[in-house]
Chain A
Amino acid sequence: MKLIIKNATTVRPCQAGASPQEQQDCLRQETVYIQDGLFSQAFAEDPDTLVIDARGLHVLPGLIDAHAHLRDPGFEYKEDIESGTASAARGGFTTVACMPNTSPVCDNETVVRYIKDKAARVGTVNVWPIGAASKGQKGQQITEIGLMKEAGIVAVSDDGAPVSTADLMRKAMTYAADFNLTVLDHCEDKSLAHGGAMNEGYNSTVMGVQGIPTAAEDIMIARDIILAEYLELPVHICHVSTSSGVELIRQAKARGVKVTCETCPHYFTLTDDACLGFNTLARVNPPLRRPKDVAAIIEGLADGTIDIIATDHAPHHQDEKDLEFDQAANGMIGFETAWQLAYTKLVKTNQLSLADLARVMSQAPNQLFKQDRGSLTIGRPADITIIDLSRRVTVDRFKMRSRSKNSPYHGMSVDSDIAYTIVGGKVVYHG
């Protein structure tokens, strides 16, 4: 099986804060060769070679989502590995890392193997399971991280729930480090969050809805930074949403603390105004914040404080969203809008470059999980996302491939679209 992508403008990742010239140098006119699923040296075209003419298109290392919920096993009515990876492929993702809050929880090698096996059977893109940090995600005892690593986990997290105590977080970070894995933490001080349903601020006051203060997120980020500094071990902060959280991480990085973090498209696209009218599609945790937080998230992406854009793709059935605001589930689907929102809100506005997106949506997530993708390097697996920047699309949540339709972006106009998603040299999406 051979593939040649001709007339391509390739996009390689640049360092954060790279000069315009350096960013320009990341774009090249070239032909990409793929053989046996790997990037290859140039070879002669023969009748068996598939040729893609990528004139006018941009060729990126395949996008990697560091944070998604595939809901399989246990919640297949929301999503399963087949529908979830089809949705990811449609959104240009060649790999998704899936969080362990399934039923049963992915806290042992059996569930890890189930996910890997099913993904190999019916999945469209690579699936990298993330194992729970604590048994049952109950925050009591650490899991069999070593056995799960052998079965294929790429990181450890209790996402959905924060790692409840500093002591358990310390144990998880320390033990995971023995297996060269990083703990990914959902940062939320539950005592301050008070079961709130949206950001605490003017809008929650006007709507009479219990709010979640930014401090609930920041306090947990600070705790994790302090542990990482004390233990001299890495920690990764999930879905950062606050300006003060970005600043805590910026200062910690400047001191050399091994902290990395991600944000999600909704935190640089929407504010808590989206909740007005009790719009449950805008309910998510961490909640949508204020305009100043959106500005700080974009600034953090531009200066490299924020390493990764992840989706936090969180499918929910209509019955869990078509409800009173307080009763509705948290989360929104994100695979099929993430690239376009990043391009429209960050690149079209000249705050990030295409090479920056190649870093935050491909290279950096690969680095977090210490895998062999996220680049166009010869000899590596040929995961590629080809983008058409000339298209303009109106988001239609009912046409998405995800089994769930809980997107808050319905009707929004966005720039660019996915032309091809290629996993291991095989075209899995073409549109």
Chain B
Amino acid sequence: MTKLRSKDLLGMQQLEADEINLILDTARTMKQIMQSGNKKTAHLQGKSAITLFYENSTRTRLSFENAAKYMGCNTGSISTSGSSIQKGESLLDTAVTIDRMATDFIVIRHPHAGAPHYLAPRVNASIINAGDGMNEHPTQSLLDLYTMRDKLGRLDGLKVAIIGDISHSRVARSNLWALKKLGSEVYVSGPGTMLPVQFAQTGAHVCHRVADAVEGADVVMGLRIQLERQEAGLFPSVPEYSRFYGISPEVLRLAKPQALLMHPGPANHGVELPTEVYNCDQSVISEQVTNGVAVRMAVLYLLNIRRNS
């Protein structure tokens, strides 16, 4: 296995286990380049990547842009404000416009599930999904997997607990699809109002008490709670949420002693976890950010090989 099968990265549902391992192996080299003090390669010289974001983002967008630049790729970015999207231009017309400027990679984040899948067959560029609605966020999953493998030495036989708003989480879905393929078990917990219907049918273990999900876990992952979900009535208050669904030090102690604490960010301190947990020795949250650049470099690098073949 030296090549990805598709020109696009749409989701972890579409990647086979050997492709995931290829990306993670490649990312290890990329991380070395990142940390070498001379972050400049010629792998993507003469290529161009455009980030097309219909939702706000700090880390994902910057991570992709840095990943591209470290490999010599030209970058540009489009967001909803200040572009023709505000004039009502359709997603397809916008993407085709970008595509016809000889763009190699379009990194898209969109509030609607399936938007990248819709574009992929309609443009020449490689479509990279940077988050589509509640569906998938594959590079977040890849950086989570990279971090787990780096710290725990394997991705099979792990118990991974994901806590929070599972319904609206593309991170939870992408990690579930990936970890199942790699031989690990995913336990989820959160308020019943935030668990998707028939989730157990996906192979996930659904727990109504956070403690049951976390007990003996190798990884404990918190998810961001969108505070506007409270207005929608999905949870009654922040104090109630953090009391019953927050990852407190006591909850974290139920996991294995060396368990990793992860969070895709941005975190609400004091809601899904308190600051002392965010900063605890087991927390790998800031390393996740670093690894995010490495896996995105790997994705761009491998998609470029696929494009040239």
Are A and B bound to each other? yes
Which residues of A approach B to under 8 Å, CB–CB? 200-202, 204-211, 213, 277-278, 322-327
Contact B197 A206 (CB under 8 A): no
Query: Are A205 and B113 CB-contacts (below 8 A) given A323-B118, A324-B91, A324-B118?
Result: no
> B170 interface residue, CB < 8 Å from A?
yes
> B114 interface residue, CB < 8 Å from A?
yes
Chain A residues near B202 (CB, 8 Å)? 202, 205-206
Query: Are A201 and B197 CB-contacts (below 8 A) given A208-B170, A323-B118?
Result: yes
Chain A residues near B112 (CB, 8 Å)? 324-327
**What distance in Å separates the Cβ of B193 from its nearest Cβ neighbour in chain A?**
12
Chain B residues near A206 (CB, 8 Å)? 13, 173, 202
Contact B196 A207 (CB under 8 A): no
Q: How far, in angstroms, from A200 to B115 measured CA to CA in the complex?
A: 20
> B165 interface residue, CB < 8 Å from A?
no
> B175 interface residue, CB < 8 Å from A?
no
* Contact pick for A277, options B117, B134, B173, CB 8 Å: B117
Contact B118 A200 (CB under 8 A): no
Which residues of B approach A to under 8 Å, CB–CB? 13, 90-92, 110-115, 117-118, 132-136, 170, 173, 196-199, 201-202
Q: How far, in angstroms, from A218 to B136 measured CA to CA in the complex?
A: 31
Q: How far, in angstroms, from A201 to B200 measured CA to CA in the complex?
A: 11
Contact A207 B114 (CB under 8 A): yes
Q: How far, in angstroms, from A60 to B123 measured CA to CA in the complex?
A: 50
Q: How far, in angstroms, from A1 to B110 measured CA to CA in the complex?
A: 62
- From DSSP, what is the main secondary structure of chain A's interface residues? loop
Contact B136 A208 (CB under 8 A): yes
CB-CB nearest 10 A-B residue pairs: A208-B135, A278-B114, A208-B134, A326-B112, A205-B196, A208-B113, A324-B112, A202-B198, A325-B114, A324-B115
**What distance in Å separates the Cβ of A242 from its nearest Cβ neighbour in chain B?**
15
**What distance in Å separates the Cβ of B55 from its nearest Cβ neighbour in chain A?**
13
Q: How far, in angstroms, from A211 to B92 measured CA to CA in the complex?
A: 25
**What distance in Å separates the Cβ of B180 from its nearest Cβ neighbour in chain A?**
12
Q: How far, in angstroms, from A205 to B170 measured CA to CA in the complex?
A: 11
Q: How far, in angstroms, from A174 to B49 measured CA to CA in the complex?
A: 63
Query: Are A278 and B113 CB-contacts (below 8 A) given A205-B202, A209-B134?
Result: yes
Chain A residues near B196 (CB, 8 Å)? 204-205
Chain B residues near A200 (CB, 8 Å)? 197
Q: How far, in angstroms, from A200 to B134 measured CA to CA in the complex?
A: 14
Chain A residues near B201 (CB, 8 Å)? 202, 205
Contact A204 B197 (CB under 8 A): yes
Contact A324 B197 (CB under 8 A): no
Q: How far, in angstroms, from A209 to B90 measured CA to CA in the complex?
A: 20
Query: Are A207 and B135 CB-contacts (below 8 A) given A200-B197, A322-B92, A324-B118?
Result: yes
Query: Are A326 and B133 CB-contacts (below 8 A) given A278-B114, A278-B118?
Result: yes
